[in-house]
Chain A
Amino acid sequence: MRAHLKVMAGALAAALALAAGSVQAQTVRLGADVDAGTMDPRVMRDTTAYRVNNLLYDGLVQLDANLQPVPDLAASWENPEPTVWIFNLREGVSFHDGSTLTADDVVYTFETILDPDLKARFRSLFTPIEVIEAVDPLTVRIVLKEPYAPLLSYLDMGIVPKAYVEGGGDLSSAPVGTGPLKLDSWERGAKIVLVPFEGYFAGPPAIDRFEFVVVGDNTARAQAFEAGDLDIIQSPLSPQDISRLAADDRFASSISGGLGITYLNMNVSDPLISDPALRRALAALVDQDTIVNTIYEGVDQVAGSILLPSSWAYDAGITQPAFDPAAAAAAFAEAGWSDTDGDGVLDKDGAALRLTLSTHSEDPNRIQALEYIQAIFKQNGVDAAISIADWPAFSAAVRGGQHQIALLGWLNIVDPDRLMFGQFHSAGTLNWGKYANAEVDGLLETGRATIDAAGRTDAYRAAARIIASELPYYVIAYQGYQVFHTDAVSLTPDARGMMRSAIGMQ
């Protein structure tokens, strides 16, 4: 009887699907904002490549929805000493070309990433690796130069087949992975078509076809979705389109904390901005609530500190100065700034409080946010000018420490280390303003070297507390991640925009 019912239900579902005209329910079409630059996971650098490669390749681990590493090609691992990691590979895993995965492929993948000639985008994530070696065909041993707790979070890097690459195979256009889908066709600039890999170790996925369709314009992509020509769209979306799509009951939508921040980079090497008291006063003039809830229409979340809510280290108790013009005025006065000549601009020792706010031209909402900050600064006696340039020009200036206050963001923060060590350690490679605090240095080193989760949490929280008070960064927003999809697709949102759940994998 039960079986009978099941058949009936199945037939009914099929009939409904036909009636709804969704005969191609097994094809999933995802709208992407850019084309992939390459299908070689080792050198990928754009979000589309990141997401395509996640379906074409497997890593030693996958990150689950909570960003916790779970077994993938590695069935298990051990960490016998703080600097030694041993990975036991799954048996009988095939690449798309039919060859079998061995430890040599894993070693080859990481050795080539570490080779500067490959120009791998993520090379710096793996430089703490001293040696990576194959113990036997199914065992890989990694020896680190020093304990490096974030390593596991970065080992979702796709493993490539050594023999194929060394035999002249071109992964960038003819990818061969072990993942659930393989490349069917790639119409550059338009469409990437993936189809199931029958030999996938966990069994082929539940769809017939997965397409990444490139539409550069955010609003046009949202409209193509409304017109039924796409099944899934996700961040980046224009905040202006989101409320309309969310109100449409044909679509399922989900918003969750993303892995990015939008922040003000306060250049501590600038003579004016170097005073922490002044930075705190300026921070009290940043109206986070209006920026996040009006300009970004509530897609993002008002930020409290450098730690993301999605992180295990998050602590809601750590806060930066809140928007409070009265408090700002008091703080300016305390720091010696007052309007002595009555021209509406604060001054100190005969010099007026003038500074430049900068951002890049690609995101109109960032420009709007900066103009809003400028207006409030001016109302409160800070004569702020604005400088806008395109991303390469803007980022060159910020990298060179030529900015005063810059509005920009960080993405893909899967571990607090990724947002703090390079940025705030006095020897950090991304510390463009040369922020230096011996206590923060010590805490960030501890966070890196401690494997124990509680110890790491304490270290990062202590560092975040200092950052929230000294403000080399003022974090405006935790970026939200938004995805819309039709009923034909079932999906578990993943803050990185990965699509394994949309093909029935977890």
Chain B
Amino acid sequence: MIAYTLRRLALFVPMVAGIVAVTFAIMLLLPGDPAVVLLGEDATDEAVRDIRRALGLDRPWYVRLGSYYADLLRGDMGMSIFQNQPVADAIGQRLGATLEVAVVALLLSIVLGVLLGIAAAIWRGTVIDGGCMLFAQLGVSMPVFWFGILLMYLLAIRLDVLPSIGRGDPLLFALGDLLRGRPGPLLDSLAHIAMPALTLGLTNAAVISRLMRSSMLETLGQDFIRTAHAKGLLPPRITFVHALRNALLPVVSIIGLRFGALLGGAVLTESIFGWPGLGQLAVAAISQRDIPLVQGVVLSFAIAFALVNLLVDLMYSFIDPRIRFE
């Protein structure tokens, strides 16, 4: 399994190289010039030329791409054109916030989706099933920004129970405080992350609940479940041990893939809740044609996505011991 993990990690190298090339090509093909954005509309053509030279944008594309690879090998992601700081710093300051909200949203959507899916399957054809599937239908159809605005209106303005914007202490620090006997920061952090995580996780929870329901129904109809009933096991034990473990496999396999959608959704969620993550930075970077920063953001999203998927693949063997990695 260690060999398998190392092999998967080694594949990151061609992946990174490919992603850099594709991102670079897209940015190159997009009309619009960072030098013009930088100088503003009232810039003279001469000033634009000077800036293009200073930024190295006047070099041929293969020279620019090659020098980016060379810099990357040395661990240098370049300077952001607009943030006046190295790309690595700009990303480092914000990546934690985005991963935090994405991971909490993921956990939230797994718990919510799996529970609703199980409930819908067990009580198939009842009001509970209908309710769960209505939730799933709404969850996949509601646009993220609309749901976020609605949630904020309800919980922050009408009921005034949650802060509308901002982030508390990072959750890991707040957990540390809790261990030292101070629950305040954790409560504050949870209050701040609740709405962004719910907004971000909603679609995901809906998708998971539908999948969980059908997978559970399929499993519940299998022979070994009948055998378990025949043995006289208690229904909760059959559902949560025998059936759940088997029904979970297809769900786990999509969780990794859904993480990509979560990172994408973070872009919108962050700008609604003033969450200091990479999403807002990514939007700004693209709309300013800040090529080094776009490269950096895409790379960090891609690596995070690949890591989560690796983790999910490794989890298979824990859920289903029959699966072995060679």
Which residue of chain B has the shortest Cβ distance to A402 in the bound complex?
B31
Which residue of chain B has the shortest Cβ distance to A398 in the bound complex?
B41
Whether A392 pairs with B32 at a CB distance below 8 angstroms is yes
B271 contact from A43, A216, A224, A430, Cβ within 8 A: A216
Bound Cα distance from A397 to B34, whole angstroms: 14
> Could you say which residues of chain A place their CB within 8 Å of the CB of B148?
220
* 30 chain-A/chain-B pairs, Cβ below 8 angstroms: A45-B38, A121-B38, A124-B42, A172-B84, A188-B83, A188-B90, A188-B93, A189-B280, A214-B276, A216-B271, A217-B145, A220-B271, A224-B165, A226-B157, A227-B160, A227-B163, A228-B160, A229-B156, A229-B165, A229-B166, A392-B30, A392-B31, A392-B32, A392-B289, A393-B32, A395-B41, A396-B33, A399-B41, A429-B44, A430-B41
Bound Cα distance from A35 to B82, whole angstroms: 11
What string of 1s and 0s marks CB contacts (under 8 Å) between B31-54 and chain A? 111101111111111010011001
Bound Cα distance from A465 to B165, whole angstroms: 48
Let me know if B85 is at the binding interface, CB within 8 A: yes
Question: Residue among B33, B42, B97, B275 with the most chain A CB within 10 A?
Answer: B42
> Could you say which residues of chain A place their CB within 8 Å of the CB of B166?
190-191, 213, 229
> Could you say which residues of chain B place their CB within 8 Å of the CB of A37?
82-84
> Could you say which residues of chain B place their CB within 8 Å of the CB of A220?
148-149, 152, 164-165, 271-274
Smallest CB separation, A42 vs chain B (Å) = 12
A223 contact from B45, B145, B164, Cβ within 8 A: B164
Whether A395 pairs with B271 at a CB distance below 8 angstroms is no
Bound Cα distance from A38 to B164, whole angstroms: 27
Let me know if B287 is at the binding interface, CB within 8 A: yes
By a beta-carbon cutoff of 8 Å, the part of chain A in contact with chain B is: 34-35, 37-38, 40, 43, 45, 116-117, 119, 121, 123-124, 172-173, 187-191, 213-217, 219-221, 223-224, 226-230, 362, 389-393, 395-397, 399, 410, 422, 429-430
Bound Cα distance from A221 to B160, whole angstroms: 16
> Could you say which residues of chain B place their CB within 8 Å of the CB of A216?
270-272, 274, 280, 283
> How many B residues touch A, CB cutoff 8 Å?
55
A226-B157, A410-B41 are known contacts; what are 11 more A-B pairs with Cβ within 8 Å? A119-B38, A172-B85, A189-B94, A215-B272, A216-B283, A223-B152, A230-B165, A391-B32, A391-B37, A392-B287, A399-B41
Q: Is the interface of B mostly helix, strand, loop or mixed?
A: helix
Smallest CB separation, A406 vs chain B (Å) = 12
Question: Residue among A35, A124, A224 with the most chain B CB within 10 A?
Answer: A224
Whether B39 pairs with A119 at a CB distance below 8 angstroms is yes
Which residue of chain B has the shortest Cβ distance to A125 in the bound complex?
B42
Bound Cα distance from A194 to B61, whole angstroms: 43
What string of 1s and 0s marks CB contacts (under 8 Å) between B9-39 and chain A? 0000000000000000000001111101111
Whether B283 pairs with A223 at a CB distance below 8 angstroms is no
Whether A393 pairs with B152 at a CB distance below 8 angstroms is no
> Could you say which residues of chain B place their CB within 8 Å of the CB of A397?
31
Ranked 4 nearest A-B pairs via Cβ:
A392-B32, A216-B271, A190-B276, A393-B31
Whether A392 pairs with B152 at a CB distance below 8 angstroms is no
> Could you say which residues of chain B place their CB within 8 Å of the CB of A227?
152, 156-157, 160, 163-164
A116 contact from B30, B41, B50, Cβ within 8 A: B50
Smallest CB separation, A394 vs chain B (Å) = 8
Let me know if B284 is at the binding interface, CB within 8 A: yes
Let me know if B281 is at the binding interface, CB within 8 A: yes
> Could you say which residues of chain A place their CB within 8 Å of the CB of B284?
34-35
Whether A188 pairs with B38 at a CB distance below 8 angstroms is no
Let me know if B153 is at the binding interface, CB within 8 A: yes
Which residue of chain B has the shortest Cβ distance to A429 in the bound complex?
B44
> Could you say which residues of chain A place their CB within 8 Å of the CB of B270?
216
Which residue of chain A has the shortest Cβ distance to B50 in the bound complex?
A116
> Could you say which residues of chain A place their CB within 8 Å of the CB of B113?
none
Whether B32 pairs with A395 at a CB distance below 8 angstroms is yes
Whether B276 pairs with A189 at a CB distance below 8 angstroms is yes
Bound Cα distance from A214 to B273, whole angstroms: 9
> Could you say which residues of chain A place their CB within 8 Å of the CB of B50?
116
Smallest CB separation, A120 vs chain B (Å) = 9
Bound Cα distance from A301 to B270, whole angstroms: 33
Whether B165 pairs with A189 at a CB distance below 8 angstroms is no
Let me know if B277 is at the binding interface, CB within 8 A: yes
Which residue of chain A has the shortest Cβ distance to B43 in the bound complex?
A124
Q: Contacts A215-B165, A223-B164, A224-B164: A124 and B274 contacting too (C-beta < 8 A)? A: no
Question: Residue among A45, A123, A391, A392 with the most chain B CB within 10 A?
Answer: A392
Which residue of chain B has the shortest Cβ distance to A390 in the bound complex?
B287
Bound Cα distance from A227 to B157, whole angstroms: 5
Whether B36 pairs with A399 at a CB distance below 8 angstroms is yes
Whether B274 pairs with A422 at a CB distance below 8 angstroms is no
Bound Cα distance from A34 to B274, whole angstroms: 10
Which residue of chain A has the shortest Cβ distance to B55 in the bound complex?
A119
Whether A224 pairs with B156 at a CB distance below 8 angstroms is yes
Question: Residue among B50, B145, B164, B273 with the most chain A CB within 10 A?
Answer: B164
Question: Residue among A35, A216, A362, A429 with the most chain B CB within 10 A?
Answer: A216
Q: Contacts A121-B39, A190-B274, A395-B36: A223 and B156 contacting too (C-beta < 8 A)? A: yes
Whether B32 pairs with A223 at a CB distance below 8 angstroms is no
Let me know if B295 is at the binding interface, CB within 8 A: no
What string of 1s and 0s marks CB contacts (under 8 Å) between B70-102 and chain A? 000000000000111100001001100100000
Let me know if B309 is at the binding interface, CB within 8 A: no
> Could you say which residues of chain A place their CB within 8 Å of the CB of B277?
189
Which residue of chain A has the shortest Cβ distance to B275 in the bound complex?
A190
Whether A429 pairs with B274 at a CB distance below 8 angstroms is no
Bound Cα distance from A173 to B149, whole angstroms: 32
A390 contact from B32, B84, B271, B280, Cβ within 8 A: B32
Smallest CB separation, B293 vs chain A (Å) = 11
A215 contact from B84, B157, B271, Cβ within 8 A: B271
Whether A119 pairs with B156 at a CB distance below 8 angstroms is no
Let me know if B189 is at the binding interface, CB within 8 A: no
Whether B42 pairs with A188 at a CB distance below 8 angstroms is no
Let me know if B167 is at the binding interface, CB within 8 A: yes
Which residue of chain A has the shortest Cβ distance to B37 in the bound complex?
A392
Smallest CB separation, A225 vs chain B (Å) = 9
Bound Cα distance from A124 to B276, whole angstroms: 34
B32 contact from A40, A229, A396, A429, Cβ within 8 A: A396
> Could you say which residues of chain B place their CB within 8 Å of the CB of A189?
93-94, 97, 276-277, 280-281
A213 contact from B54, B84, B274, Cβ within 8 A: B274
> Could you say which residues of chain A place their CB within 8 Å of the CB of B167?
190
Smallest CB separation, B77 vs chain A (Å) = 16
Whether B36 pairs with A396 at a CB distance below 8 angstroms is yes
Bound Cα distance from A224 to B155, whole angstroms: 11
Smallest CB separation, B302 vs chain A (Å) = 20
Smallest CB separation, A484 vs chain B (Å) = 15
> Could you say which residues of chain B place their CB within 8 Å of the CB of A215?
165, 271-274
> Could you say which residues of chain A place their CB within 8 Å of the CB of B54?
117, 119
Smallest CB separation, A403 vs chain B (Å) = 13
Bound Cα distance from A117 to B50, whole angstroms: 8
Smallest CB separation, B50 vs chain A (Å) = 5
Let me know if B219 is at the binding interface, CB within 8 A: no
In chain B, positions 224-282 with a C-beta closer than 8 Å to chain A are 270-277, 280-281
Let me know if B215 is at the binding interface, CB within 8 A: no
Which residue of chain B has the shortest Cβ distance to A34 in the bound complex?
B284
Let me know if B203 is at the binding interface, CB within 8 A: no
